[in-house]
């Protein structure tokens, strides 16, 4: 990938760690220049959610037809529903030079890693398992049985954090937001080192 193309940024981590919360903080910040890729899902639209803003809400049949047409960078089944990242928006937006941000669960992130190894992978981790459990309980969206299942899944997923470029511990939302922004900034600087701007400088230095 060359530097005139945007970066693909993937934020992932276990359920309840705060991915959605940190993502909202990132996009509420007017300094954030990346574009958010709105996912498609077959889960029911919740009160207050807007189609085309929070998600593109699709039927199972529509989603499966899009899978057949290869319209997703990645998709996964999560708690009985499909979630997926539409490929066209991501490709077009990166071609225009914008960074594109995905907030997805761990299985989807694994698929992105296989297709786009040059993407930037950030794992959001909880300070500890007790706080993860407290967040799942505090969110009030799941039964204790589902929470226990999510904690078991989280233990398996936390073992995958070393496959990511960076791990951010979500202790404080604003701090996690800043860290994600800094990681993106540093990744751009690293990419520029090998790109034309600095090549010219190095030629000058060595002549």
Ligand X SMILES: Nc1nc2c(ncn2[C@@H]2O[C@H](COP(=O)(O)OP(=O)(O)O)[C@@H](O)[C@H]2O)c(=O)[nH]1
Ligand Y SMILES: Nc1ncnc2c1ncn2[C@@H]1O[C@H](COP(=O)(O)OP(=O)(O)O)[C@@H](O)[C@H]1O
Q: Is 140 annotated as a binding residue?
A: no
Q: Which residues of 108-146 are buried (b: 16+ CB within 10 A; e: fewer)?
A: bbbbbbeebeebbbbbbbbeeeebbbebbeeeeebeeee
Helix ranges restricted to H, 29-86: 60-68
Least distance between ligand X and beta carbon 148 (Å): 16
Q: Is there binding between residue 126 and ligand X (CB under 6 A)?
A: no
Residue nearest to ligand X (CB): 108
Q: Which of 8, 18, 19, 22 binds ligand X (CB under 6 A)?
A: 19
| Nearest-angstrom CA–CA distance, 10 and 104 | 7
Site for ligand X in 20-39 (CB under 6 A): 20, 39
Q: Is 15 annotated as a binding residue?
A: yes
Helices and strands, counts by H and E, the chain: 8, 9
| Nearest-angstrom CA–CA distance, 119 and 98 | 13
Q: Is there binding between residue 76 and ligand X (CB under 6 A)?
A: yes
**Residues of this chain that bind ligand Y (CB under 6 A):** 15-21, 135, 138-139, 170, 172-173
Pick the piece of the chain touching ligand X (CB under 6 A) from 1-9, 97-105, 122-130, 154-162: 97-105
> Which residues are annotated binding-site positions for ATP?
13-20
């Amino acid at each position: 990938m060359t530097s005139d193309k945007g970066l693909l940024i993937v934020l992932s981590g276990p359920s309840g760690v705060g991915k959605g919360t940190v993502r909202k903080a990132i996009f509420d910040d007017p300094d954030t220049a990346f574009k958010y890729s709105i996912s498609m899902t077959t889960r029911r639209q919740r009160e207050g959610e807007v189609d085309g803003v929070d998600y593109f809400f699709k039927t199972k049949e529509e989603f499966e037809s899009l899978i057949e047409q290869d319209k997703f960078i990645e998709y996964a089944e999560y708690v009985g529903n499909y979630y997926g990242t539409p490929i066209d928006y991501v490709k077009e937006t990166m071609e225009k030079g914008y960074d594109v941000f995905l907030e997805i669960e761990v299985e989807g992130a694994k698929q992105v890693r296989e297709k786009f190894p040059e993407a930037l992978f950030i794992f959001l981790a909880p300070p500890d398992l007790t706080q993860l459990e407290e967040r799942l309980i505090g969110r009030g969206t799941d039964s204790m049985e589902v929470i226990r299942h999510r904690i078991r899944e989280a233990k398996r997923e936390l073992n995958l954090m070393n496959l990511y470029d960076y791990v951010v511990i979500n202790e404080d939302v604003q701090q996690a937001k800043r860290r994600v922004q800094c990681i993106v900034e540093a990744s751009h600087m690293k990419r520029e080192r090998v790109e034309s701007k600095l090549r010219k400088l190095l030629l000058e230095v060595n002549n």
